[in-house]
Amino acid sequence: MEIREDLGPVRQRAIVLLLTAFLLFGALHLRIAQLQIVEGSHWRTMAENNRLRRLPLASVRGRIYDRRGHVLADNLPTWNLLLFPDEASKLDETLLFVADLGVSDAASLHRRVNQRGVDRLAPMVVGENLDWQQVARVRSHQSDHPELSVVAGFRRHYPFGNATAHIVGHLRLVSENELRSSAGLDPSTRVGATGIESLANDFLTGQAGERWVVVSAVGRQLGVVREDPSASGKDLAVTIDAGLQQIAAEALGERAGSVVAIDPRHGAVRVMYSSPSFNAELFSGPLSPETWNALTTDPRHPLQDRSLQGTYPPGSTIKPILALAALTDGLVTPNWTVQCTGRVVLHGHPFRCWRRGGHGRVDLEHSLEASCDVYYYQLGQRLGIDRMARWLELFGLGRSTGTGLPSEASGLIGTPEWSRRVRGTPWYAGEAVSVSIGQGPVLTTAIQMARAFAALANGGRLVTPHVVVGPEQANSVDLDLDPTHLARVKKGLELVVHGETGTARSLAGLPVAGKTGTAQVARLQEGVDSKDLAPHLQHHAWFVGWAPLIDPEIVIAVVVEHGGGGGSIAAPTASIIFSAALDNAEQPSDHAPEE
């Protein structure tokens, strides 16, 4: 490499480049001076008139329709009040103004303003469901409180009111965790909390949008910077029959309990009503602590969905399943008889039949018709506890039915193994005697009983109860029952309603078959009549059955908490619902209104 090469021409070109760069720097400096010194006051004014707001665009939640096209869940337009806390020059005055409107109290407003997150452009919803007077007051004071804005929103409305509160469900505010895990979620967003609202939440939920606008110092909108439109959620048709649901609600009246009706052919749920009910719309807006406390401390527990979460001893309603078990396993024949004297001593303890005088000689069909307890004590002894448990579980008792609805209770089928593992006490042989009449460590829900009876009604298929039709809901399990055994048991259940000594004769005018059940809450002492018990110790009353007799289309399970006798209380209630269901002869095909 040469020493002292001639760099002259390159140096000259370099100088030209550098001078150009400095010239451009000078131009930039002049521009800065122009913006900051010459035009400074102009831009400062612009800055004051330059407020960017992020307005949430509410998405419409999908409607829920019943199988006949009645709207179960709707949306009503409403006015909401937004506050942009960072824009406020006198925040305290504004909060007082909002509190004075009557939409929220000052203390909780202050707390919420102080706890808001870092996303400071976002508004806070400080009032929901404003009435016209409140809207007018905000509008007329708009220039005093430009950081307040009235926007349109939606409020969930349930046209059938209390009758569908549990099955359709209600909404809740998104939780802190959900807010943290999904950015951009508005804290005032409501999502499904229970029932179908929760089950189909993703389907029903739309996509919330937002609009970025520039507003002037007095809150007037100057222009839209960006808009992400909202998308509505999808409408959903469910299998519920709202009319029948309403009749069930009226039939139960003030009594606590549950009515579940399903179509035994495929498991579509027609009625799922829990009493006492509540107003689900309370959860569509801000819920006051007083209202919440009143609901949660009510001794009658209106929020509990008794159809899915209420677990009761099934009483005599499990007798047809045990009869079928003994027939199938060859432990008894249809003509096997038991002499019922009103009581029997087993394992050293006396066990009584519900009928003091006894039933005399009883065969299988008659044991169901008259619900003879002694017959089933003996039959249970032949089956043994493990076989009884297996058969009850085969019919879906003691486990969730797969509706997909939230918080379904599983219930319980007690066995010696369960006693050792869970209860930690030894199993008493006498407990198996109780189990054979649906007492003791056996707990089922109304929907489990409806499903089990659907399997009897449809010829031995265990269907999956469902409110939304989907591919997995079509699943059913064939129990592989002997048709002649099934026919004998079904005959017995017909006699319950139509036989001379049937326990549900109040239904005799209808083509119904079924079984009553009277589940003891407290063990009766010798010589005490059940009518003398305190109300909270009264028996639970059951009736589970189907109609019509040939090709059954509906299975109804009724349970009345502390109602008394299954035949005297539950059966007449079921009668009202059966009668209404049978009147609606021309039911549309089952998949017509869906989606």
Quote the CA–CA distance of 396 and 475 in Å, as a whole number: 14
Phi, psi angle pair for 541, to nearest 5°: -105, 130
CB of 56 to other proteins, least distance (A): 18
CB of 209 to other proteins, least distance (A): 17
Nearer residue to other proteins within complex by CB, 30 or 508? 30
Side-chain half-sphere exposure of 163, counting CA atoms within 13 A: 19
DSSP annotation of 255 reads S
Place of tokens 């029903």: 204
Nearer residue to other proteins within complex by CB, 124 or 533? 124
Catalytic residue selected from 316, 367, 371, 434: 316
Nearer residue to other proteins within complex by CB, 224 or 522? 224
Could you give the residue ranges of the DSSP H alpha helices within 34-159? 40-48, 91-101, 106-115, 132-140
89 is catalytic: no
DSSP annotation of 312 reads B
DSSP one-letter string for 321-341: HHHHHHHHTTS--TT--EEE-
CB of 122 to other proteins, least distance (A): 11
Task: Tell me, rounded to whole angstroms, the distance of Cα 325 from its chain centroid.
Answer: 34
Nearer residue to other proteins within complex by CB, 51 or 540? 51
Contacts of residue 530, defined as CB under 8 A and 6 or more positions apart, other chains included, come to 524, 538, 539, 564, 565
8 A C-beta contact, residue 443 and residue 412:
yes
Nearer residue to other proteins within complex by CB, 50 or 175? 50
Q: Catalog residues that contact other proteins under the rule CB under 8 A.
A: 1, 3-11, 13-14, 16-18, 21-22, 24-25, 28-29, 31-33, 35-37, 39-44, 46-48, 50-52, 86-87, 118-121, 213-214, 222-226
DSSP one-letter string for 447-460: HHHHHHHHHHHTTS
CB of 20 to other proteins, least distance (A): 8
Q: Which two tokens stand for residue 115?
A: 């706890």
CB of 125 to other proteins, least distance (A): 21
Nearer residue to other proteins within complex by CB, 36 or 207? 36
CB of 123 to other proteins, least distance (A): 14
14-52 burial string, b = 16+ CB within 10 Å, else e? eeeeeeeeeeeeeeeeeeeeeeeeeeeeeeeeeeeeebe
Task: Tell me, rounded to whole angstroms, the distance of Cα 558 from its chain centroid.
Answer: 19
Quote the CA–CA distance of 162 and 209 in Å, as a whole number: 32
Nearer residue to other proteins within complex by CB, 49 or 207? 49
For 392, the 3-state DSSP assignment is helix
CB of 59 to other proteins, least distance (A): 24
Q: Which two tokens stand for residue 512?
A: 């119904």
Positions annotated as catalytic residues are 316
